[in-house]
């Protein structure tokens, strides 16, 4: 996990203007306990629908950590994935 905050200094006030976080989940899909991946998928589905219903962030440690990245009117999230091109991995 890597966090980087951009701060703007204006009239002696520091204001956060941006935040970038990188997470490496490599191999997490191989775990027998995929609760974190399942909970992340649930959160993304609920947020994608745009409903004002409850988002289950408390379901796993991963979603608790990512909560502030998904919340907010100006939040932008980009997910980069690597998928094996072989048919046996489908």
- Our count of domains for the chain comes to 1
Q: In this structure, what CATH number is given to the domain that contains residue 41?
A: 1.20.58
At 50 the pLDDT is 75
In a domain, 9, yes or no: yes
Average pLDDT, the chain: 73
Q: Is residue 90 part of a domain?
A: no
Boundaries of domain holding 46: 2-25+34-85
**pLDDT tens string 21-42:** 777 776 656 655 667 778 888 8
Asked, for residue 39, whether it belongs to a domain, the answer is yes
Q: Which of the four pLDDT bands, split at 50, 70 and 90, describes residue 9?
A: low
Find out whether 21 and 35 touch, Cβ atoms under 8 Å: no
d(C-alpha 40, C-alpha 43), whole Å: 5
Whether 77 maps to a domain, the answer reads yes
Residue 48 pLDDT level (bands cut at 50, 70, 90): confident
């Amino acid at each position: 996990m890597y966090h980087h905050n951009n701060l703007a200094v204006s009239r002696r006030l520091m204001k956060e203007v941006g935040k970038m976080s990188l997470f490496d989940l490599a191999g997490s899909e191989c775990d027998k306990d995929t609760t974190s991946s399942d909970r992340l998928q649930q959160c993304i589905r609920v947020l994608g629908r745009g409903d004002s219903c409850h988002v289950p962030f408390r379901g796993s440690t991963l979603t608790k950590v990512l909560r502030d990245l998904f919340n907010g009117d100006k939040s932008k999230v980009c997910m980069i994935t690597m998928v094996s091109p072989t048919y046996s991995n489908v």
